[in-house]
Amino acid sequence: MEMTREHVEAVFAVLTGIGLSAACGFRIFLPLLALNLASIYGLVGLAPGFEWIGSYQVTIAFGLATALEIAAYYIPWLDNIMDSIASPVSVIAGTIATASLITDMPPSLKWTISIIAGGGIAGLLQGATVALRAKSTIFTAGLGNFIVASFELLASAIVAFISLVLPIVAFILALLLVTYCLILARRVYMRKKRGGGEAA
């Protein structure tokens, strides 16, 4: 089947959404702010029902939310409280980021992709950052969390930017991050399993 321009645009929209979802796994509101600004300046088109993302009022809201989120992660112990809130919200943000860009697709398929790919990737990466922060808190009494927070902020900004200008690269990067998280999760599981077996 020949790929039409509409098909290519649909694929790029999905790739962009998934890339932004990955960025939401590191910081929730920064990628959404990037999406808002990209929409205002005509870099991306929003799906019907998501036009609100491209308004100036949302720019202010996402801008404030981004600033507060960034600041919160630099306050000792408050960052851990933020993690408990951010985990479910990141899934919602990832789902919205993907769904807002998908057009000309049946709603059932659109929301399946948005929830599983968008929300799933955001939730998985957010879970990995929570685990990393927990280890940092234990081994450095929270002092190392500053470095972790800076890394997450930088990663979110870079992935969000690449998603908007080079969607294919962002998608590949998202796959690599997800693969790394799955390998890490498997190692933790196997370590716990061996520890449980030795204890028994």
Q: Return the C-alpha torsion angle 74, 75, 79, 82, nearest 10.
A: -100
Q: What is the pLDDT of residue 145?
A: 75
Q: What is the pLDDT of residue 141?
A: 62
Domain boundaries, the chain: 5-199
Q: Which residue has the higher pLDDT, 29 or 2?
A: 29
Contact 28, 123 (CB under 8 A): no
Weakest mean pLDDT among 24-28, 30-34, 65-69, 142-146: 142-146
For residues 168-184, average pLDDT: 86
Element spanning 81, H or E: helix 78-99
Helix (H, G, I), strand (E, B) or coil at 141: coil
pLDDT tens digit sequence for 108-145: 999 999 999 999 999 999 888 887 777 776 776 666 77
* Single-letter amino acid code for the residue at 59: T
Query: Sign of torsion, CA 36 37 40 42?
Result: negative
pLDDT tens digit sequence for 38-73: 999 999 999 999 999 999 999 999 999 999 999 988
Q: What is the pLDDT of residue 98?
A: 95
